[in-house]
Amino acid sequence: MPSTDSLTRRSLLAGTLLPLCATDEALPPVRPITRGPRFHWFGYYDKLQFDPSSRYALGMEVEFEHRSPRADDEIRVGMIDVEDGDRWTEIGRSKAWCWQQGCMLQWLPGSKTGVIYNDREDGQFVSRVLNVKTGKSRRLPGAIYAVSPDGEWAVTPDFSRLADTRPGYGYAGVPDPNKDIAAPEKTGIWRMNLKTGKREMILSLAQVAAVPYREGKPNATRHWLNHLLFSTDGKRFLFLHRWSTAGKSGFSTRMFSARPDGTDLYVLDPHGQTSHFIWRDPRHVMAWAFHPSHGNKFYLYEDKTENVQVMAPEVMIVNGHNTYLPGNRWVLNDTYPDKNRMQHPYLYDTRTNRRAALGHFLSPPEYIGEWRCDNHPRFSPNGRLVTIDSPHGGNGRQIYLIDIKGIAG
């Protein structure tokens, strides 16, 4: 059993003292890879933060916290060399960003030098494809959200509408022309060819809202679409259809799958409470949701079928940002702040039905609502490293690296 002093030192690295009952808990090494006085984060959990070599991690840098971004707020886009003193190199700037998902900065799948991110130019949202080695950049005529596994296509929702319907996920600077229409026909989901820039709307909000509701048609005041993700083989993608209801707080949700051209729509979860999700393979999706069988839990859905299986109901007991490590044995996940404002990233072993803690990180009370700082754990392609965003170190949100070789290596 480790000594009290060694536990205290390890716990302080994680941002808090461990409870006495956890004195036998072995936590992996963790270190900050960004530092103040500026603030750094990456954003969402389902984007490629690392290059294929697992050496370079992407991040974003800003000079303020605890307020909504304005149209004139510009962030720096950078690359961190985790094998050379965590050296930060600025590679670009963006005026199209939000606290939860940044500017959709991500590596192009399979590319050693190519990244893509959103920006705003001439009164519209665009995206930029950048070669980090040469500095050469291409401008594409629309924003992106999810990139296909072959790096050829991207799909995106309406970020102007999201700015109004779900603060923290949309972008400032381009007003929503359909703001007063509950389910407009002129906005929805677009697909864009990343080589040619050809762009087309493949689904309208009106079309999605008109799909029959298993739970009864809602008295919706506004509909919107969010959280898009291609399947592992690129043959389908997921998205969430959400709507606010007159006289009720919050929103309701349906999870859809579709082909990349928007056809073959299927309501994968009709029960109204889908949250975070990830594709396990081309046919199966793990998501936190409500299902009549077990209530609010993680479930494994088989696409285009009624087959639903509860996952780890006694182990992964709260909502989190879930992904599969390479090989699909390990699930990387986290939690929202508990009653003590602690966040708990962890690995879940699907073979043994056990979880391994990656740390316990304090989220100060000012990190709430739109500008909260979720851990959003991401993994490196070699499956040996995890990064999180966290404000536990006392110098605002920063990016931390966790070495998981001793657990899943």
For the domain that residue 114 is a member of, what is the CATH number? Answer: 2.130.10
Does residue 373 lie in a domain region? no
Is it the case that residue 405 has pLDDT exceeding 50?
yes
- What CA–CA distance (Å, rounded) separates 103 from 125? 11
Backbone angles phi, psi at 231, to 5 degrees: -70, 165
Does residue 219 lie in a domain region? yes
Q: What is the pLDDT of residues 169-207, one digit of tens each?
A: 999 999 999 999 999 999 999 999 999 999 999 999 999
Tokens representing 43 are 């954003």
- What CA–CA distance (Å, rounded) separates 202 from 212? 19
- What CA–CA distance (Å, rounded) separates 40 from 360? 19
Is it the case that residue 23 has pLDDT exceeding 90?
no
- Answer yes or no: are the C-beta atoms of 208 and 228 closer than 8 Å: no
Does residue 42 lie in a domain region? no
Output 19 or 84, whichever has higher pLDDT: 84
Does residue 69 lie in a domain region? yes
Number of domains in the chain: 1
125 forms beta bridges with 120
CB neighbour burial string for 229-239, b if at least 16 within 10 angstroms, e if fewer: bbbbebebbbb
Instruction: List strands edge to edge, sheet with 252-258.
Output: 220-230, 237-245, 252-258, 266-272
- What CA–CA distance (Å, rounded) separates 128 from 343? 33
377-399 mean pLDDT: 98
Burial of 242 (0-12, 13-18, 19+ CB in 10 A): buried
Does residue 304 lie in a domain region? yes
pTM score:
0.93
Does residue 390 lie in a domain region? no
155 forms beta bridges with 146, 191
Is it the case that residue 18 has pLDDT exceeding 70?
no
Backbone angles phi, psi at 387, to 5 degrees: -115, 150
- Answer yes or no: are the C-beta atoms of 192 and 144 closer than 8 Å: yes
SS3 162: helix
Tokens representing 341 are 């404002």
* pLDDT band at 265; cut points 50, 70, 90: very high
Is it the case that residue 13 has pLDDT exceeding 90?
no
Does residue 196 lie in a domain region? yes
Q: What is the pLDDT of residues 160-178, one digit of tens each?
A: 999 999 999 999 999 999 9
Q: What is the pLDDT of residue 3?
A: 34
Does residue 23 lie in a domain region? no
Q: What is the pLDDT of residues 288-310, one digit of tens each?
A: 999 999 999 999 999 999 999 99
Is it the case that residue 16 has pLDDT exceeding 50?
no
- What CA–CA distance (Å, rounded) separates 164 from 178? 11
Region of poorest pLDDT, from 25-29, 151-155, 230-234, 269-273: 25-29
The residue among 105, 59, 61, 57 whose CA lies nearest residue 81 is 57
- What CA–CA distance (Å, rounded) separates 77 from 160? 21
SS3 170: coil
Which DSSP category does 20 fall into?
G
Q: What is the pLDDT of residues 66-80, one digit of tens each?
A: 999 999 999 999 999
For the chain, the distance separating the N- and C-terminal CA atoms, rounded to the nearest angstrom, is: 23
In which domain, by residue range, is 261 found?
49-318+347-361
